[in-house]
Amino acid sequence: KQEVTQIPAALSVPEGENLVLNCSFTDSAIYNLQWFRQDPGKGLTSLLLIQSSQREQTSGRLNASLDKSSGRSTLYIAASQPGDSATYLCAARSYNTDKLIFGTGTRLQVFP
Amino acid sequence: EAQVTQNPRYLITVTGKKLTVTCSQNMNHEYMSWYRQDPGLGLRQIYYSMNVEVTDKGDVPEGYKVSRKEKRNFPLILESPSPNQTSLYFCASSPGGTGSIEQYFGPGTRLTVT
């Protein structure tokens, strides 16, 4: 059974720092892995999706990597801004299923 | 505007009183799903639907029902709510299942069962 873990649970950094959020999964037979952003009182916004055949995806200041052999994905945020403050969730989809298994998230605060 | 809407946004009810949380999307998406979010447990899928009249259980379906009679609507039904169903609920839709980057989530429904 797939389990997804995110460390750290919370992170507070000054504006301008580059930072890395971690996501681990137990079953390496994943179809894809997604990163989401959740703002308080709102739903989730999809940020990046990495297919199992890919190693990374980039969107603006965000870069997500995938290492299936080690069961890890990272979300790199460059030059963080206060507007990046949110909870970041990763979710893995295994083969032969349409289920997304979510991690518990990393709550990020970027202060000016 | 492309969106997923949920109603109500907040609901306080008592044990055993049947309730329905509605979900509607205006993007003609085939795939819709329901999640609950609890502290320390993350989001867990309750039910999902690949298309009209096609539904399947997620990871935590006990105590819930769904129906998909129209493509745009996917209501979540709690026949006899219990306090352990107090949670934050999200509806989501996508044109291509969970493999699509275009995952649209509703704003959430915070349910309290006393």
Check whether B98 has a pLDDT greater than 70: no
Amino acid identity of A66? L
Task: Please give the mean pLDDT across all residues of chain B.
Answer: 93
Closest to B75 (Cα-Cα) out of B98, B101, B47: B47
The pLDDT value given to residue A99: 76
Name the residue facing B42 among A42, A99, A103 (closest C-beta).
A103
Q: Best mutation site among A1, A7, A44 for testing chain B: the one with the most B CBs within 10 Å?
A: A44
**C-beta atoms of B92 and A44 within 8 A:** yes
Q: What is the mean pLDDT of residues A28-53?
A: 90
pLDDT of residue B96: 73
Residue B41 makes CB contacts below 8 A (sequence gap 6+) with A104
Looking at per-residue pLDDT, the higher value among A40 and A35 belongs to A35
In this prediction, what percent of chain B has a pLDDT beyond 70?
96
Give mean pLDDT, residues B46-75. 95
Given a contact cutoff of 8 angstroms between Cβ atoms, the answer to whether B85 and B113 are in contact is: yes
**Mean pLDDT of the residues in chain A:** 92
pLDDT number for residue B101: 66
**Residue B8 CB-half CA count within 13 A:** 8
